[in-house]
Structure 1
Amino acid sequence: MTRIPRFHLAIPVDDLAAATRFYGDVLACERGRSSDLWIDWNLRGHQLVTHLAPAAPRAANPVDGHDVPVPHFGLLLTVPEFHALAERLRTADTAFVIEPYLRFAGRPGEQWTMFLTDPAGNALEFKAFAEDADVFATSV
């Protein structure tokens, strides 16, 4: 049996209740094990752990005329999943760092992308490629 690769990511949060509302309610992640200092989340099959800790300083790099937050993490979705999540985030009055938009239209690597932050300021990117094979395309 081939195992699908999964990632584990631990991030700092300054309020576990706010993290619970965001990851549990807004992003609809299933809650796993927890303590008074951390919570495991099932982020579409990946283990995301929110640890009660001070946040690290943030920076940004210019990409396509946008200030892309660094560091950031996120997921690759299908195009329908991307648009459904964007609507879910809008319904929850989520403030986007970069509104959902289409990059590289009609070219290799065509993708929808959006950036937002969780309540602790951790930056997340969600994107969807028109063609899965273009995820690692080298020419755009």
Structure 2
Amino acid sequence: MRQTNKVFHLAIPCKELNETVDFYEKLGCKLARRYDDRVTFDFFGDQVVCHLSPDEVDEAPNMYPRHYGITFLEKGEYDQALESAIRDELSFFKTPMVRFEGKKEEHMTFFLVDPANNLLEFKYYHNPDMVY
């Protein structure tokens, strides 16, 4: 189980800082720091750093094996994130779907793609025992 005194850190490439800030702020992430070559966000309680590196952008991303995101423990928060993504016209990589329907690990999910083609998954498990 997660300790509340720890913060996960992820560093990813970005193409352009302004569009990156716009995207992540629309997700509800707080801009923590900005430098000439990177921006750091409070990403739902964890730290995501987007490094300006346009030559490192994946031009044809796939969901597997590389993506990151949030697993919501409350369905209302998942619904709110989905509604916000639709309202703010964020780019969907995969529209909302149910995975593993009828099985213990059934969950609702959708994927967004940020301006540098990083893939973000947002999901909610009906059975909280399946989160980990």
TM-score (norm 2): 0.86
Question: Structure 1: which 5+ residue stretches go unaligned?
Answer: 61-67
Closer, same or farther: CA 121–105 of 1 in aligned 2, 3 Å: same
CA deviation digits over 1:40-69, x for unaligned, max 9? 100111000111112343443xxxxxxx35
Closer, same or farther: CA 59–40 of 1 in aligned 2, 3 Å: closer
Which position in structure 1 is the counterpart of 2:35? 35
Question: Structure 2: which 5+ residue stretches go unaligned?
Answer: none
TM-score (norm 1): 0.82
Contact 2:61 2:117 in 1 (8 A): no
* Paired amino acid for 1:16: L
Contact 1:82 1:128 in 2 (8 A): yes
Structure having the higher strand fraction is: 1
Which of 71, 76, 82 is 2:71 aligned to? 76
Which of 114, 120, 125 is 2:121 aligned to? 125
Contact 2:14 2:57 in 1 (8 A): no
* Paired amino acid for 2:67: H
CA deviation digits over 1:1-22, x for unaligned, max 9? x833431001110110001100
* Paired amino acid for 2:13: P
What is the CA–CA distance in structure 2 between the aligned matches of 1:19 and 1:56, rounded to whole Å? Answer: 13
Closer, same or farther: CA 92–59 of 1 in aligned 2, 3 Å: closer
What is the CA–CA distance in structure 2 between the aligned matches of 1:23 and 1:29, rounded to whole Å? Answer: 5
Q: Which has the higher contact order (CA 8 A, sep 6+)?
A: 2
Contact 2:91 2:114 in 1 (8 A): no
CA RMSD for the aligned pairs?
A: 1.8
The SS at the match of 1:74 is: strand
Contact 2:15 2:52 in 1 (8 A): yes
Which position in structure 1 is the counterpart of 2:85? 89
Percent of pairs with identical residues: 32
* Paired amino acid for 2:38: W
